Structure 1
């Protein structure tokens, strides 16, 4: 845990450890924890709403603090115990955006068109106004940025958007449903233990030029916006596998390829809300089927021990059978799903 509370989002669930002014007379303890919602923060103090009421703590007494996942809403494994809405909240900070805004509880993101996640609304909670008014405000916000309004509407696996109150409104306004996506979750130790083995990994907090250049070859990117999105999470880890270090024999690389520095496998972890979100996973087509994606994913999961993060999530389109087989082998389970509802073009 860090002593810095400046980057902990207001409204997040946190634990703050701090020094008592005098030892506890019953136990002699000199430290105590406040667990709850971070409600206020200024230069001198932070305030946490706990189950016993609000606690205000002087910053110079804080010895450690970190963000926690939302409370479980059901029994079972920790990675499956969140509600659908809470998992959506957890996923918001793991993928970046150039611009963020809120409408009540809804989270709006715009990123010049780079990725659907970076240019969509997460409509969880209440927008704090009538539904039709909220939809109109969202449409206006995106139109001002030259983008169509897009909602990431979540529900159980296989849910029908027409059966959701917001989904029904959007469909009657001509929105189209597409890119049905599964949200998968797993425990860190399960994924790390499933490592099939392989070459050395490079893991960095920096977005290096080689990583970025390889990523540009995997999808359409937007200069400036792409870098901003990839770096926007509270904490980020960029993982890669490059030729060399004995990899040439393992993969049968040609001499020219073995001498290169361009990554042949990539992945990104965005850390926020007490979870890590896996994304931007890619393997050079020439080296697929050799376990590189599994090895890189498991290696990044193991690295999360240093980050004090125990749970992972990722998103896969529902018909991407190859990816689903990979992640199930690594110990991921389907938690829920979402579908993008996109406004018709003018």
Structure 2
């Protein structure tokens, strides 16, 4: 298992982790000076952290930690690693890949609010138990969003094509007047499959910073909310921003418009949020004037390749179920449908 020199103080509590740390004394049998602890990062203070392993809690001094990384949840079914995760666990994995201005929890449920910017940034992920009777939990959620002048919204997951009314929570929400919409597919893949599908193309710029040109171009793709948009885009444990920008002799290669050829404004964008041991692809966009040239595929493959340096081997993305062109693109690259979800919004 490859470990990355991550700062364990930045890994969210509740994450599944592997922590390598120095022993106070070498092991008598092997003379080993290092050991690994795998489990859930349950607590942390200024001097120690606790990992809940299969053999019980392990308390580790921060000063003894050499490397640490988030790792995916354990597979729950047979198949390729990117498909072997349960639907609930994939929902958990996807949470850190998209930011939010504000996060809270109700039991195991995750509540997110971002001044209305994106449905993902303003919805509940109702996975696990809320720690309350279901109807009481829904009332608590509604009050939480009402305090932020937002409608309550639930991202309810299930198999592809599932009926929200067949789920106990979904049935309750529909009875309360919630509207079912924005049905979305969860696609997953192996990093190496996507990287190998690169059709080739112009130079790709990858960086950790949300630059002005990237953000200005992104604002052309959808309605944004100043302040909230930046917080959401930056709000993953690790983020990579990818773009393709005119220059470097691309005018002839791409048939660039004269107005674009000498500019620095990106003509293709993508974002990769890294968390829970997975890379989450999003914000993929190509200037309409340059679509059909493989830029989105090239950019996606470049981001997949960048995950090697992160020690992350699995990817996910979300695409609306009726976005046929995008689904065709991602299937060609090697993504497969894992599950789906729908938003149930308070009426």
TM-score bracket, normalised by the shorter chain, equals over 0.9
Distance, in Å, in 2 between the alignment partners of 1:141 and 1:52 is 38
Q: CA deviation at 1:49?
A: 1.3
Question: SS state of the match for residue 10, structure 2?
Answer: coil
Post-superposition Cα deviations, 1:231-273, rounded to whole Å, max 9, x if no partner, equal: 1111111000000112211111133321011000000001111
Distance, in Å, in 2 between the alignment partners of 1:90 and 1:274 is 8
Tell me which residue corresponds to 2:268.
Answer: 265
Asked if 1:224 is matched to 2:227, the reply is yes
Tell me which residue corresponds to 1:8.
Answer: 11
Cα–Cα, structure 1 residues 218 and 155, in superposed 2: closer, same or farther, change >3 Å? same
Distance, in Å, in 1 between the alignment partners of 2:104 and 2:49 is 24
Asked if 1:300 is matched to 2:303, the reply is yes
Judge which range, 209-218 or 6-15, deviates more: 6-15
Post-superposition Cα deviations, 1:123-181, rounded to whole Å, max 9, x if no partner, equal: 00011001111111111111111111110000000100000000000001111100100
Q: CA deviation at 1:62?
A: 1.0
Asked if 1:39 is matched to 2:42, the reply is yes
Post-superposition Cα deviations, 1:22-51, rounded to whole Å, max 9, x if no partner, equal: 222222221110111112211111111111
The answer as to whether partners of 1:93 and 1:273 remain within 8 angstroms in 2 is yes
Question: SS state of the match for residue 38, structure 2?
Answer: strand
The 5-angstrom pairing of residues 242-281 of structure 1 reads 242-281=245-284
Q: CA deviation at 1:3?
A: 5.1
Distance, in Å, in 2 between the alignment partners of 1:33 and 1:303 is 26
Distance, in Å, in 1 between the alignment partners of 2:6 and 2:223 is 39
Tell me which residue corresponds to 2:244.
Answer: 241
Asked if 1:200 is matched to 2:203, the reply is yes
Distance, in Å, in 2 between the alignment partners of 1:96 and 1:152 is 15
The 5-angstrom pairing of residues 118-267 of structure 1 reads 118-267=121-270
Distance, in Å, in 1 between the alignment partners of 2:125 and 2:12 is 17
Asked if 1:54 is matched to 2:57, the reply is yes
Structure 1 segments (4+ residues) deviating >4 Å: none
Q: TM-score, normalised by structure 2?
A: 0.98
Distance, in Å, in 1 between the alignment partners of 2:265 and 2:40 is 44
Question: SS state of the match for residue 78, structure 1?
Answer: coil
**Alignment partner of 2:24 out of 5, 11, 21:** 21
Tell me which residue corresponds to 1:106.
Answer: 109
Distance, in Å, in 2 between the alignment partners of 1:174 and 1:249 is 55
The answer as to whether partners of 1:11 and 1:38 remain within 8 angstroms in 2 is yes
Tell me which residue corresponds to 1:67.
Answer: 70
Post-superposition Cα deviations, 1:176-213, rounded to whole Å, max 9, x if no partner, equal: 10010000000100000000000000111000000000
Tell me which residue corresponds to 1:291.
Answer: 294
Number of corresponding residues: 344
The answer as to whether partners of 1:210 and 1:262 remain within 8 angstroms in 2 is yes
Distance, in Å, in 2 between the alignment partners of 1:239 and 1:298 is 11
Tell me which residue corresponds to 1:335.
Answer: 338
Cα–Cα, structure 1 residues 221 and 3, in superposed 2: closer, same or farther, change >3 Å? closer
Distance, in Å, in 1 between the alignment partners of 2:135 and 2:238 is 36
Q: TM-score, normalised by structure 1?
A: 0.98
The answer as to whether partners of 1:3 and 1:62 remain within 8 angstroms in 2 is no
Distance, in Å, in 2 between the alignment partners of 1:255 and 1:280 is 26
Judge which range, 91-100 or 53-62, deviates more: 53-62
